[in-house]
Amino acid sequence: MVKNNQIKVVIVDDHAILRAGLRQVMAETPDIIAIAEAQNAAEAIQLARQPDADVMLLDIALPDRSGIDTLKYIKHINPNIAVLMLSMYKEDQYAVRALKSGAAGYLCKQSASLELIDAIRIVSKGKKYITPDVAEILANQVSMDAAKAPHESLSDREFQTLTMIASGFSVSDIAEKLSLSVKTISMYRTRMLAKMQLRHNADLTYYAIKNKLVE
């Protein structure tokens, strides 16, 4: 029987093994319970409508829709649910974008099991879960003498396309992974090059590596 003071969590990730691992971590904690799971954005949006869900663990890389796009939609239909983003990407790539889009926190999957319980408890109280690395990134961004980096002017989709190009994916590969047309990805690429005043994919890759946007 679910206790009234338990924090009710929805897990969204397309990998069953990871969902099982997160569920096991929560099962060892009496004040937190996983009430539902989803493996894609469409299912996540349906589960976000549940009035009893307190926290959602949302993968940033879903097979049918961008995690950032999904986050924005979920916060639109249910502003009260606290969304913790899960990602394989380092904090300096997506954390600030996720927080600006309405996320309550950002966890790297590599350390999620260690930080998960504290993060869930914090965001369930309406607070933000900020790791020291994310706090440093935020501090650097608001520093008066910090110049705005060119990639910060990109939209979420453009930024995602940038990191994927820099990781070696072709336009057609990216289109397939994001379930978008090649024409749309090519448009994102053209916009990126114009905004960042670059000319070629090689320039994008060099920029991303230099600014530690990819490993």
Structural tokens at position 9:
């969590």
* Distance separating alpha carbons of residues 18 and 28, to the nearest angstrom: 16
CATH number at residue 89: 3.40.50.2300
Residue-wise pLDDT tens digits, 69-99: 899 999 999 999 999 999 887 666 678 888 8
Rounded CA-CA distance 194/206 in Å is 16
Total domain count, the chain: 2
**Segments forming the whole domain that contains residue 176:** 150-210
Is the entire prediction scored with pTM above 0.75? no
Identify the domain boundary among 91, 113, 139: 139
Residues 134 and 178 occupy one common structural domain:
no
Say whether both 173 and 118 belong to one domain: no
Same domain (yes/no): 11, 78: yes
CA-CA distance, 54 to 29, in Å (whole number)? Answer: 16
Claim to verify: residue 122 and residue 180 sit in the same structural domain: no
Q: Which of 139, 170, 195 is the last residue of a domain?
A: 139
Q: What is the pLDDT along the chain (215 residues), one digit of tens a residue?
A: 334 689 999 999 999 999 999 999 999 999 999 999 999 999 999 999 888 899 999 998 888 888 888 999 999 999 999 999 998 876 666 788 888 889 999 988 877 777 899 999 999 999 999 888 888 777 776 654 455 778 888 888 898 899 999 999 999 999 998 888 999 999 999 999 988 888 889 999 988 888 888 86
- Which strand ranges, in their side-by-side order, compose the sheet holding 105-108? 32-38, 7-12, 55-59, 82-87, 105-108
As given in the structure block, the two tokens for residue 146 are 């910090």
Q: Do 122 and 16 belong to one domain?
A: yes
Q: CATH no. for residue 178? A: 1.10.10.10
Amino acid (one-letter) located at 81: I
